[in-house]
Chain A
Amino acid sequence: MILARVVGTVVATRKDPRLEGKKLLVLKPIAPDGKDESGYVVAVDTVSAGFRERVLAVSGSSARMAEGCKDTPVDTSIVGIIDTIDMDEGADSR
């Protein structure tokens, strides 16, 4: 699983029927301290995450273990909204 923040949404009318009704969000991976990491990924939202929220995303075949994603063509899904991150010594979670 990765830590990420929601930075955008994707709208696609013509898509796989099994993706219909699913919210597609653009995520930017972050470090535990909240700093952006490189790249981005488009993920299916299963927890009603909003813009700027820090979320937990799972990728690969495990993404389809998330509720409502079984047997759908999904490779990354958001499975949690992060409240706090506690790190051992040094790194603070903001």
Chain B
Amino acid sequence: MLIAKVIGEVVATRKHQSHEGRKVLLVQPVHLDGSDRGDSVVALDAVGAGVGERVLLATEGFSAMTAVGRPDSPIDMAVIGIIDRVDLLPELLPPASPASDR
């Protein structure tokens, strides 16, 4: 799983039927310091996430399909959780916010 940020929504009328009834989200995976990690991806929503939220992204087919509840469908990424908090070892925190760990 990766940490990611929801940056947008996609509207698609013509799509595979397994994607019907699920929000299609544009999601940007992020590094632990919050910076972008590679290109953004398209993921189906399994938890009701919205734009701006920090989420848990499943990046493997089966877990994505199970989360969305559509087995054997062409789904390779899904948002499976909304992140409330990430705690990190102090040495991994971005240098700009040294006080946040206390």
Contacts and interface: CB of A to CB of B under 8 A. Distances in A.
Do A and B belong to a common assembly?
Answer: yes
Contact of A15 (B31, B32, B80): B80
A40 B31 contact: yes
Size band of the B side of the interface? 20 to 34
Interface in B52-94: 56, 58-60, 62-64, 66-67, 78, 80-89, 92
Nearest to A9: B87
B48 interface: yes
Contacts of A60: 60
Contacts of B78: 73
A41 interface: yes
Size band of the A side of the interface? 20 to 34
The majority secondary structure among interface residues of chain B is mixed
A75 B58 contact: yes
Interface in A35-90: 39-43, 51-52, 59-61, 63-64, 71-76
A73 B64 contact: yes
A30 interface: no
The majority secondary structure among interface residues of chain A is mixed
Contact of B56 (A39, A42, A71): A42
B42 interface: no
A19 B85 CA distance: 16
Given A51-B89, A72-B66, A41 B80 contact: no
Interface of B: 1-3, 31-32, 37, 46-48, 56, 58-60, 62-64, 66-67, 78, 80-89, 92
10 contacts: A8-B88, A11-B83, A15-B82, A16-B46, A24-B56, A24-B81, A42-B3, A51-B89, A73-B78, A74-B63
Given A10-B3, A42-B2, A61-B60, 12 more contacts: A8-B89, A11-B84, A11-B87, A12-B83, A15-B82, A19-B81, A24-B1, A26-B32, A26-B86, A26-B88, A71-B66, A75-B59
